[in-house]
Structure formats: C-alpha cells, structure tokens
Structure 1
C-alpha cells in the first residue's frame, strides 16, 4: 500500500476482519515514524560487535595487507548497504513486514519454509549463540568487578555450563529480551544512546592502537603470519572472500530488512539513512579494527586477534569496564535487530491467530535457552560454520525476493490480494510460487555443496553463488513459464 492513494481503502478493522493481527498488518502513514537518522543509527551495533572484530583477525591471515583489509571492509559496506536498501524498498513503499513480503514472493504456503529458515532457525539459533558469545565477555567483566565471582558453585555445572557462566548468560539474555520485547521504539532509543558511545569508545581505542603501535607505518608494515591451511586466493578473490564473509553475517538482516523499513517515513529516509549509516559505520570499523588488533598485537608482543583478550590486558580498570560495556551493548543491539525481532515477526506470521509480536519474542527467547547454545559452541569453529550455513541458505532467498519485486512484479503489490481473507475457504489463490521455490532450492543446494569435501571454494563464496544462481534460475523459469497454458480455474500454476 503506497503512502497516498490506497490508504483510505484500508484500516485496522479491514485487516482484523480478514484474520490478521496488528503486527503483520501494513503500517499506515501515521505509524511510519522512522527518519533517516533512525536508520543511520540502526545498524551501528551490528557492525561494531565482538564477532565482527574477531573476524577481522581472520581476514588479516588470508594474505592481504592491513591497508587492503581496510579497503575491503569499506568496499563491502556499499554492497551491504545496497542489499539493505534494495530489499527494503517493498517495506518502505507499502509498509509491509518481511513475513508478508515472503508471502508475496513465495505464496502463502511457499513462504513458510524461508520464513522458518530466517525467523526460527537463523533468528532463534543465532540469538542463542550470540547471547552466549556476549555472556563470555560479560563473564570476564564480572570476574574483574566481583572478587570470587568465578568461584561461585565451586566448579559445579548445570546442563553443561558453570554457574558463573549461567548467571552471565541469563543476565545478558534478560537485557536482550527486554530490548526485543520493547520493539522498535525501545530499540530506537537504545541505538540513539549507543551510537555516540561507539564513536567515542572505538575512536578512542583506534587512537590507542595507533599510539602503542608507534604510528601508521608500524601498523601497515606489521609482519602477519598468514594461515597455513586452506586455500590462499589471489588478492582480488581475497577481497570477494571478505565481501562474502560479511554478507554471510548480514544474510539475515539483508533478507528481513522490511521489518524495519516498513516503519520508514519514506523510501528516501531508509535509503539515505541506511547507506550513510552502513558506510560511515564501516569506515570507522575498518580503521578501528585494524588499528586495535595490530596495535594490540604490538603492545602484547605477539599476534592476538581476540579484541577481548587485548582489552583484558589493559592496566586501567575503568577503560576495561567502559570498552567491554560498549561492546556488550553493540552485541545486544545486534541481537535485537538481526535475531529476536525477525524471529518474533516470523512466529507471528506463521501463527497469526495465536501469536502476536510480543508472544513471539517470549517464545523465541525461551527457545534460545532451551537449545543450550553453550553446547553448540563447544567447538571453536561452530559459530563460523553456522554463519556460513545461514549465508548459503539466505543468499538465494534474498536473490529471489529482489528479482520477484523488481522484475516480476515491477515494484507493484496488490495489498488486497496479498492480505486475502483467511476465513474465506473458497478463495481462488495459488498457494505456491513454483518458480521461486525451485530457484531457491537450486541456489541453496549448490551453496551447501561447499560443506562437502572438495567443494570448499563454494563455501568461501556461498552467499554470492547462492544469490546469483537463484536469481538467474528464477528469471529463466518465470519467463519460460509466463505463457504456460492456464488451468481450468484460469490461474497460471506458477503464479502466487
């Protein structure tokens, strides 16, 4: 539904009569309050968090120079921003959430599988894993603040986690839950406070890294021991390896960005806000991450790619407290924007008569504890394998969604048809978009080949491969079947 024109045709009662709760209804003009500044601050925490800083250490091991890694991080921001604003266009134009954008692309039943992959598996799974990762940083902080905290329970474990570790996990989980439960309003206030802190703290840490390293030349000339295993790619492919890794991190938000752009005051607001926010955040991230990690390695006298270890070696307690605290806040922000909010919306879409947004947050949050993420992360590579798998699965979904909206539908959505009457058992609507489904399955299948021996190169570029293949297959199938003979009911079988 566009901001003007169709708005008078629909209201809250119209959608309620058709069986929809308010959380998946299209947002009316008076509900769209997010400005360009809101979008500018929205994703800052998703850039500056513990896993991303750790990942830069891995990027420095693939054979690129520190300067090349910085340029790769900045270039990647334009690709990420493009993905967010393009796939978020349907949300800002019609006010629809991701769940309904999926239905528009795949059909009512067809939308359930990609919805479960994004909202349930990726959303809940990654929420639990990132909560545990954040709790480990909190645990370090609690051990410094409370003498004897690590001795609570005398080494006893509950379900495979120590009592101090469980306390840290539950504290971090509870804060993330509160932010997610409050929804977009609380998140906007949280990110508005967090944004200046990120500039101050990470800017200060970058200056610290620059100073202890002895200047620009020492950082750029630092002798990095590259990895001894795996494929060493030429420089240009190493750039794309970094692009792919970061797109894997952004695969979830890149798919479900309509959950946020549906609240945009205008399409211009989300375009300007997201591009400026993502690019500026990555410029700071590129400089800060390289300066902190290499400066910290010089400071410690050995290569160290874990930012928490570097911070923990500082002599000033307050510097440790503030820096770790901001890192924890950025991880909480990421958990809300990338995980718990999409998971809640998807649960609401899957069961619109039973689950609203807040119930979805409760279900997703409880499920994230029940999966015991600390057990899933017993292997150090588990988190990266999980992210690679999510990128391989959601890259094709994003490709199909973008092709569908811009090429198949030519940026036009029929709200009346999309929000059909759930109580009308005789509705004449196709439940599956077969072309979109086949394209997604082909893209996912080929991307996941990278997890088999001998196909590692596919895994290294899984998001790009899945996105491109699924997009091409969908275009070919759509136009090949466009003139397919109609069935008796006059509905072409490949249409939604």
Structure 2
C-alpha cells in the first residue's frame, strides 16, 4: 500500500520520518526478525533473573518450562502488537494515536519513548562500556591504570573513555540507517549461538558432565507453586514490556506480516531454547563446581583461560547490547521526540538528543543504588503493561484491524483528541498492577503485574467502550432524557 505525502495534505507534523514506510523501504525479511531480539534475551539481567528462580527453590525442569512458556507468550505478543506496524507502516508514536487519541497518546508515548527509553539507554550503555573496558584491558593491561586518580563525576579515566567510545558506537547506528541494524543482527546471530553454546559446554565440563546437572536437587518451593510459576513467567515478560509497546517501530519495515510473524516466533523460541540450556547449565554447573552459582555473564567470561574465547565473548556481549539499545531505546525515543516536536525534529535529531540526555542522567551514578532504579522501572513497567492491553483491545476488537491514516496525521481529526476510556483504563489497570506493592493483601496481583496490567486494561477498556456505546445509543433515542441527565 503506497502512501504518498499528497495523501496527507493537512499534516499537523512535518517530519518525513513519521510518515508510513514506503514499499521500497520495506525490506526486512524473516531473517531480520529472527535475530533482532537475540541481544535482548542473552544479557546480564536475564541471567540474574534465572538465578533468582533457582533461589526460589525451583527445579531445572520447572525453570526450563517457565522460560519456554514465556518465549511463546512473548513471541505472540510481539507479533500481535506488531501487526499494525507491518500492515500500515507506522511507528508506535503514531499507532498510539489510534487507541489514545492524538493528544491522549502523549502520556503513554512519553512514558515509553522518552522516560523508559532514555533511562534504559543510559544503563545499557554503561553496562556495555564495562565489557568494553575488559575487552581493551585484555590486550592492553595498562589501560586500567590510565589517569591515575583522575575522576569525572565518579568515573575514572578508563571507564570514562570506555563509556564515550561505546556511546559513539551507538550514535553511529543512528546515522547509518535501519539497514545497518539488519546487518548488525545478522552478525550477532551466529556469534550468540557459538558463544553461549560454548559457555554451556564449558559449564557442563565444570560440573563433570550433564548427569550431575540433571540430578540437581533444589531446596524446594515455599508458598503456592502455581503462583510462583506464574509470577516467574510474569517476571520474564515484564522485562519486555517496553519492547512490546513499541514493536511497530521495527515491524513497519517488514515486507509482510508473514515475515515479521514467522521471523519473530521462530527466532524467539529458538533463542530462548538456547538461553534456557545455557542459563541452567551455567548457573547449576558453576554451583556444582565452585559451591556458589555464577549469575553474572561477565564473571563467567573472566574464568576462561583463552584470550580468544574471552575476546569473542566480550565482543558478542557488546554487539548484543548495541542491538538492544538501538531497537529498544534509541528508535522509540527518536520517533517519540519527532512526534512531540514535528516542526523542529526528525528521527535522527530526536534520537541524538535522547542519547545526549542518556549521558546527562549519569547512569553510573544511578547504578550505585539498584533499589531506586528498579523501583522506578517497576513503576514504568506497571503503567506500560496496561498500554499493551489498550493497544491490542482497540486494534483487534474496536477498530477490527482498520486504521484511518488520514485521521491520525491530519490536524482536523474526526475523532476526539483524547480517548478518555483508554486513558482511564490505563490508569486504573496501572493501579491494579502496582497496588500490591503497597497493600500486602494484594501482593499476588503485583507478583504477576504483567498479566494483571494487560488483562485488567483489556476488560476495563472494553467495558468503558460498551458503556459509552450504550450512552450514545440512549441519547439517540431519548435526546430529551440525555439533556436532562
């Protein structure tokens, strides 16, 4: 479907980057989507999460099925929320207008595209820069002693240079174009399988074979097994809430919905299968060998005795982090800033500004207090999961997969600028998903906040729309009563 600029003669925005993707730019095939999320799966926080599951007393098979069930649910959510992007070629900042209204979309858009994206960009960039420091130090040991006691806002010269270098590499991909991201992911794909497959073999050898790992005996679960099982699935999916919201930013470049659907489903399930094997063998194998489980991938790499293995592993982690940053943080932030300031910013300028803010928030300082970071991110996640529910309910049940693009881009909309039912359902569902953090009696809702937020948002939004429909229908047949009311 070709959308020319003449179709939008009354645009309220001037940025070409926000217009529907032209057919010639829709070049992403199944292979692109197969590898795009690998970096989001294989990273330090993911391994720490699985380590937490074992700390709860789960068996290796329970953890394995939790991971695989999560992968299937995640793939389904990404495909469903990515459908509109592939069909209409629009970014998430514009897609939000369909369900929240042009002005109403500002709240969820800023929450996802600016606050969460910039925060995560800073944290991921700093985490990646630590791997860069280790990688450089492997070949240049003197790198760690550069600058002596020199410090810049808490960063020594080594970490400061590594952070700037890694930041510049991320910025490079802003100007290199979307095709460069596809090429990057094609490089990452085989590296991930080789590196993490190698880590798995290494861990099995440490443990004395696969049998000791399979015979691992956990301490046992305390509490409801069903609730713990569901809460673990929710924990994995909660780390993906932002990517699910903005997935149309990448599916808009798909050749078809079949490409993004098959690519994401096969890619995520296979990647999580490898992740399940690698994470379980590494964590349990290291516990058998050293008496203490290793949850940090960098600590695993540090125990390798081969310079080549260390270098290729660190390089893979760095590339994976760049991929996560581009897809999950830079792209959403760039499009959202362009949507907020259409006459002044395009995608590239908006993305560049977001990366600069990512430095100004001093992420290395934020990481000194992990409690406050995760409290903030849990708050954002608790509000974003309802946004997913609203987007899906509106697209599939209310609009029946039909979007009026002219209305989304025009300054003379035929719909209300703010969709009150959508915003109301989002806020109420957000309260439901987070209230258990403050009221112990409702803690089960908080422990499965991903499910709570999405399902309550869908139910509330459909109910509010039903009430709205009945009110309009009553006003049509009883205009006098409506006026008196």
Which of the five TM-score ranges fits, normalised by the shorter chain?
over 0.9
Q: Aligned match of 2:382 in 387, 392, 403?
A: 392
Aligned pairs for 1:394-433 within 5 A: 394-420=384-410, 422=411, 429-433=415-419
Q: Aligned match of 1:251 in 234, 241, 248?
A: 241
- Contact 1:156–1:163 at 8 Å: present in 2 too? yes
Partner of 2:72: 78
Q: 2:177 & 2:470 partners in 1: Cα distance?
A: 44
Is 1:285 the counterpart of 2:275? The answer is yes
Partner of 2:134: 140
Q: What TM-score, normalized to structure 1?
A: 0.90
Partner of 2:7: 14
Q: 2:248 & 2:117 partners in 1: Cα distance?
A: 15
Q: Aligned match of 1:449 in 432, 435, 451?
A: 435
Aligned pairs for 1:189-268 within 5 A: 189-223=183-217, 232-268=222-258
Q: CA offset at residue 298 of structure 1? A: 3.0
Q: More deviation in 164-173 or 379-388?
A: 379-388
Distance 1:459 1:139, change over 3 A: farther
Partner of 2:56: 62
Q: CA offset at residue 106 of structure 1? A: 0.4
Q: More deviation in 142-151 or 246-255?
A: 142-151
Q: What TM-score, normalized to structure 2?
A: 0.92
Q: Aligned match of 2:19 in 15, 25, 38?
A: 25
Is 1:459 the counterpart of 2:446? The answer is yes
Q: CA offset at residue 122 of structure 1? A: 0.7
Q: CA offset at residue 341 of structure 1? A: 0.8
Q: CA offset at residue 484 of structure 1? A: 2.5
SS of equivalent residue, structure 2 residue 471: coil
Q: 2:225 & 2:51 partners in 1: Cα distance?
A: 17
Distance 1:335 1:91, change over 3 A: same
Aligned pairs for 1:118-197 within 5 A: 118-197=112-191
- Contact 1:251–1:390 at 8 Å: present in 2 too? no
Q: 1:450 & 1:341 partners in 2: Cα distance?
A: 33
Distance 1:318 1:195, change over 3 A: same
Report how many aligned residue pairs link the two structures: 474
Q: CA offset at residue 303 of structure 1? A: 2.5
Q: 2:222 & 2:177 partners in 1: Cα distance?
A: 43
Q: CA offset at residue 318 of structure 1? A: 1.8
- Contact 1:181–1:361 at 8 Å: present in 2 too? no
Q: CA offset at residue 223 of structure 1? A: 5.0
Q: More deviation in 57-66 or 270-279?
A: 57-66
Distance 1:181 1:443, change over 3 A: farther
Is 1:306 the counterpart of 2:293? The answer is no
Q: Which runs of 5+ in 1 are unaligned?
A: 491-496
Q: More deviation in 173-182 or 74-83?
A: 173-182
- Contact 1:100–1:418 at 8 Å: present in 2 too? yes
Q: Which runs of 5+ in 2 are unaligned?
A: 480-485
- Contact 1:388–1:459 at 8 Å: present in 2 too? no
Q: CA offset at residue 302 of structure 1? A: 2.5
Q: Deviations over 1:15-68 (max 9, x none)?
A: 376243221111232221111111111111111122212222112111211221
Q: 1:418 & 1:481 partners in 2: Cα distance?
A: 22
Aligned pairs for 1:454-493 within 5 A: 454=440, 456-485=443-472
SS of equivalent residue, structure 1 residue 294: helix
Distance 1:336 1:136, change over 3 A: same
CA RMSD of aligned residues (A): 2.2
Distance 1:45 1:11, change over 3 A: same
Q: 1:439 & 1:108 partners in 2: Cα distance?
A: 17
Q: Deviations over 1:366-390 (max 9, x none)?
A: 0000011111111244554344333
Partner of 1:318: 308
Partner of 2:85: 91
Distance 1:145 1:211, change over 3 A: same
SS of equivalent residue, structure 1 residue 64: coil
Q: Deviations over 1:217-265 (max 9, x none)?
A: 2113335568xxxx94433222212211111111011001111111111
SS of equivalent residue, structure 1 residue 315: coil
Richer in helix (by share): 2
